[in-house]
């Protein structure tokens, strides 16, 4: 999937929306901002360095109280901006890791 080849329209925020990224295993947490979002993914602006962290899969918290969140996988890195795809697990389905993302 190339950057301009999206299936779902994106909602671009005039001012990026503050959010939090949390490791799937809970070992790290980082502040970020959502620049734009769609049903299938988002563009995030990193507020701190992500060096040394496993960004292959993580949770993106969408609400301040944590009730809305999405499991994400890294798609691309461009400086302090990253593109993520939301992971949708269907009941009984096994997830096969995407080998394209690398950091």
Average pLDDT value for the chain: 84
pTM of the model: 0.77
Q: What is the pLDDT of residues 4-26, one digit of tens each?
A: 555 678 889 889 999 999 999 99
Domains of the chain and any CATH numbers:
11-86 (2.40.10.220)
Contact predicate 61/36, CB 8 Å:
no
| Positions of the chain with pLDDT under 70 | 1-7, 91-103
Residue-level pLDDT at 2? 43
DSSP the chain: --TT--SSPPEEEEEEEEEEEEETTSS-EEEEEEEEE-SSEEEEEESS--TT---SEEEEE-STTSSSEEEEEEEEEETTEEEEEE--PPTTPPPPPPSS---
Residue-level pLDDT at 91? 66
């Amino acid at each position: 999937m190339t950057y301009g080849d999206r299936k779902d329209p994106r909602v671009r925020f005039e001012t990026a929306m503050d959010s939090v990224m949390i490791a799937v295993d809970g070992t790290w947490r980082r502040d970020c901002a959502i620049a734009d979002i769609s049903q299938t993914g988002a563009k995030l602006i990193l507020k701190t360095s992500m060096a040394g962290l496993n960004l292959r899969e993580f949770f993106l918290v969408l609400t301040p109280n944590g009730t809305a969140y999405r499991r994400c996988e890294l798609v691309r890195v461009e400086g302090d901006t990253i593109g993520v795809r939301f992971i949708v697990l269907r009941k009984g389905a096994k997830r096969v890791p995407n080998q394209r993302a690398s950091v």
